[in-house]
């Protein structure tokens, strides 16, 4: 059975997000936040559920942004990827903090720290996403903006 581009896009974007951020977030939680490995396992399990729900929408958002901005050069690619990840993920993280019961100060500090992380990881994740998409034969960045790739 041949899978549609839409299904392949969902699978590729989901795998990329889950693999990349399970590793980077897990290392951050263990070695920066000082969480025990058992706590990291729980956190990453919950995170994986959220990543499955948001991976393809993020991919569509990123593709749309790249199609509109049409960055040319490494600096512009870096800035576009950094902004894409920052603008999409920080509001989700703020909602997670609110649901988790964080106070206003905790939300501001947590969001600020997370924003810095998203700025740093934006381009590396964008490159990893394109690599994973390439493994699935999805080689055109920005394909069919604002569609689900199908």
72-123 pLDDT, tens digit each: 888 999 999 999 999 999 888 888 777 777 778 888 887 888 889 899 999 9
Is the C-alpha dihedral spanning 125, 128, 132, 133 positive or negative? positive
Rounded to the nearest integer, the mean pLDDT of the chain is: 85
* Residue 48 near residue 85, CB atoms below 8 Å: no
Q: Where are the domains of the chain?
A: 5-135
**What is the spatial distance between Cα 141 and Cα 116, in angstroms, rounded to a whole number?**
25
- pTM of the predicted model as reported, rounded to 2 decimal places: 0.82
């Amino acid at each position: 059975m041949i899978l549609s581009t839409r299904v392949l896009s969902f699978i590729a974007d989901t795998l990329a997000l889950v693999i990349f951020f399970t590793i980077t977030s897990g290392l951050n939680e263990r070695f920066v936040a000082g969480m025990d490995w058992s706590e990291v396992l729980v956190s990453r399990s919950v995170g994986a559920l959220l990543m499955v729900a948001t991976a393809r929408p993020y991919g569509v958002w990123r593709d749309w942004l790249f199609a509109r901005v049409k960055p040319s050069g490494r600096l512009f690619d870096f800035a576009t990827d950094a902004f894409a990840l920052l603008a999409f993920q920080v509001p989700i993280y703020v909602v997670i903090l609110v649901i988790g019961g964080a106070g206003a100060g905790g939300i501001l500090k947590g969001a600020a720290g997370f924003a810095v992380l998203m700025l740093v990881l934006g381009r590396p994740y964008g490159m990893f996403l394109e690599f994973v998409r390439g493994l699935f034969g999805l080689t055109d960045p920005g394909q069919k903006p604002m569609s689900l790739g199908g």
